[in-house]
């Protein structure tokens, strides 16, 4: 089959990372995968096995997702937004996919709904329309108004053949963050968590015995980094490595650096996952991909959920992990160097947590679900024409 995955990451890079993992799973089963990325480039992420097509990029103005900025950092113009719609539609007609997957939409990305709707209309107008699926993480940003949930459900029922929910329903069901009617429930397919295979410890021992501080691949987390730099002065017996994300990582490192702190600052690195298995502890936000990396590695972890603006997704996820051994949760508003050091000492003394009961093969399961649904769609089409 030919697969087209459409994703636009606006703040961090988690959405793109998950879409790439999903794409590689399709590739591994012999399918041809094109991934259309509408966010800014993330060179630290591997695109191996996936044909990545970069569209005119957008990013949010911080946590203000109603203000979308274009390639030059200025507010995206109508002409710029229209160029994205044109690029999406042209790519659809070029690929002629058997399966079209939209990442997050229609449960999010309301600011981009015009381009997604145009894409869906074009897909349904093809001589042989593709199977259309939505791909969503375990926990969504809850709808701020009831009509937003109603609108998303109406779109699912009108234009989609199913929703891939990348969660283990025994741990987190969509109802935890989104209203689920019986009609929507019938469209949900729980896949398990979408995660790459567990990473082996870094072959050169990088990260061994260190405190690793990260905030994803985007340009957020400066307050967390500043607190960690100060905390490192109180725990100089352990090496601290801060991984700074974003396209402006070098400038942020220069701005954050403190010669009096033993903390080492460097840009986010593609082998980050290999540092976790033998690290002393991790300090991080609690995005979907980071949470799975921490679970798989067993690394003692202090979670500081991203909660700027109206963001609650990471807080909900962190609360679900908090009962497990080796996890501590600290609110960003009350985080101090003293509290961070105390939380680190606590998680490093906790017993090793078990991975029993967690399903991490969500990417492979997503492929199986898509293959089954596509086969059923083809059978139904043959039945109508016979």
Same domain, 177 and 78: yes
- pLDDT band of residue 380 (cuts 50, 70, 90) is confident
Same domain, 190 and 93: yes
Q: What is the pLDDT of residue 18?
A: 94
Same domain, 9 and 111: yes
CA distance 201 to 271: 10
CA distance 243 to 210: 12
Give the tokens for residue 196. 């790459």
Tell me the percentage of the chain whose pLDDT exceeds 90: 78
How does pLDDT run across 151-189, given as a tens digit for each residue? 999 999 999 999 999 998 888 899 989 999 999 999 999
Same domain, 95 and 43: yes
206 domain residue, yes or no: no
Average pLDDT (235-244) is: 96
Same domain, 142 and 250: no
Same domain, 124 and 265: no
User: Is residue 242 helix, strand or coil?
Assistant: strand
Q: Which has more pLDDT, 65 or 350? A: 350
Q: What is the pLDDT of residue 128?
A: 93
CA distance 53 to 36: 5
Average pLDDT (261-289) is: 94
pLDDT higher than threshold 70 for residue 260: yes
pLDDT higher than threshold 80 for residue 22: yes
Q: What is the pLDDT of residue 385?
A: 63
| Average pLDDT in the chain | 93
182 by Cβ neighbours in 10 Å (0-12 / 13-18 / 19+) ranks as: exposed
- pLDDT band of residue 75 (cuts 50, 70, 90) is very high
201 domain residue, yes or no: no
Same domain, 240 and 283: yes
Select from 375, 69, 5, 96 the least CA-distant residue to 247.
69
Same domain, 188 and 225: no
Tell me the percentage of the chain whose pLDDT exceeds 70: 98
Angle at 330 between CA 327 and CA 331, to 5 degrees: 145
Q: List CB contacts of 346: < 8 A, sequence separation 6 or more.
A: 328
Q: What is the pLDDT of residue 237?
A: 95
Here the CATH number for the domain that contains residue 73 is 3.40.50.2000
Select from 93, 178, 202, 164 the least CA-distant residue to 366.
164
Give the best-scoring range by mean pLDDT among 12-16, 118-122, 286-290: 118-122
71 domain residue, yes or no: yes
Same domain, 127 and 249: no
173 domain residue, yes or no: yes
- pLDDT band of residue 218 (cuts 50, 70, 90) is low
Cα distances (Å, whole numbers) of residue 151 to 76, 190, 215: 25, 22, 32
Residue 380 and residue 206 in contact, taking contact as beta carbons nearer than 8 Å: no
How does pLDDT run across 192-210, given as a tens digit for each residue? 999 988 889 999 999 999 9
pLDDT higher than threshold 90 for residue 245: no
Query: What is the span of the domain harbouring residue 29?
Result: 2-195+360-385
Same domain, 23 and 97: yes
308 domain residue, yes or no: yes
Give the tokens for residue 352. 């090793």
Number of domains present in the structure of the chain:
2
Q: What is the pLDDT of residue 308?
A: 78
CA distance 311 to 133: 25
53 domain residue, yes or no: yes
Same domain, 233 and 375: no
pTM as predicted: 0.86
pLDDT higher than threshold 80 for residue 357: no
Same domain, 29 and 161: yes
| 343-372: b (≥16 Cβ within 10 Å) or e | bbeebeeeeebeeeebbbebbbbbbebbbe
Residue 2 and residue 26 in contact, taking contact as beta carbons nearer than 8 Å: no
205 domain residue, yes or no: no
How does pLDDT run across 41-69, given as a tens digit for each residue? 988 888 999 999 999 999 998 878 889 99
DSSP for 78-124, written as a single string = HHHHHHHHHHHHHHHHHH--SEEEEESTTSS-GGGHHHHHHHHHHHH
């Amino acid at each position: 089959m030919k697969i087209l995955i459409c994703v636009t990451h606006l703040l961090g890079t988690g959405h793109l990372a998950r879409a790439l993992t999903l794409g590689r799973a399709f590739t591994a089963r012999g399918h041809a995968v094109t991934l259309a990325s509408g966010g800014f480039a993330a060179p630290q992420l591997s695109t191996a096995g996936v044909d990545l097509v970069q569209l005119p990029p957008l990013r949010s103005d911080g946590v203000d997702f109603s203000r979308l900025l274009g390639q030059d950092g200025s507010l995206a113009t109508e002409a710029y937004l229209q160029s994205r719609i044109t690029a999406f539609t042209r790519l659809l007609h070029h690929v002629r996919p058997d399966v079209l997957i939209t990442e997050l939409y229609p449960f999010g990305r309301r600011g981009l709904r015009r381009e997604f709707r145009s894409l869906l209309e074009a897909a349904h107008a093809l001589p042989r329309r593709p199977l259309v699926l939505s791909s969503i993480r375990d926990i969504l940003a809850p709808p701020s108004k009831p009509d937003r949930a109603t609108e998303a459900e109406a779109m699912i029922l009108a234009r989609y053949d199913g929703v891939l929910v990348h969660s283990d329903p025994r741990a987190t069901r969509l109802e935890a963050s989104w209203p689920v009617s019986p009609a929507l429930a019938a469209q949900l397919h729980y896949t398990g968590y979408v995660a790459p295979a567990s990473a082996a410890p870094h072959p050169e021992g990088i990260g061994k015995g260190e405190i690793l501080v990260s905030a994803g691949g985007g340009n957020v987390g400066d307050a967390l980094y500043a607190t960690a730099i100060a905390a490192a002065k109180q725990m100089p017996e352990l090496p601290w490595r801060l991984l700074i994300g974003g396209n402006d990582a070098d400038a942020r490192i220069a701005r954050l650096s403190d010669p009096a702190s033993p903390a080492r600052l460097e840009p986010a690195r593609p082998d980050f996952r290999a540092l976790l298995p033998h690290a002393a502890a991790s300090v991080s936000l609690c995005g979907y991909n980071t949470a799975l990396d921490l679970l798989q590695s067993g690394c003692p972890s202090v979670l500081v959920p991203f909660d700027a603006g109206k963001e609650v997704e990471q807080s909900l996820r962190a609360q679900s992990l908090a009962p497990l051994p080796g996890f501590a949760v600290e609110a960003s508003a009350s985080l101090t160097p003293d509290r961070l050091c105390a939380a680190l000492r606590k998680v490093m003394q906790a017993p090793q947590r078990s991975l029993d009961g967690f399903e991490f093969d969500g990417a492979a399961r997503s492929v199986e679900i898509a293959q089954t649904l596509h086969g059923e769609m083809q059978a139904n089409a043959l039945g109508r024409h016979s």
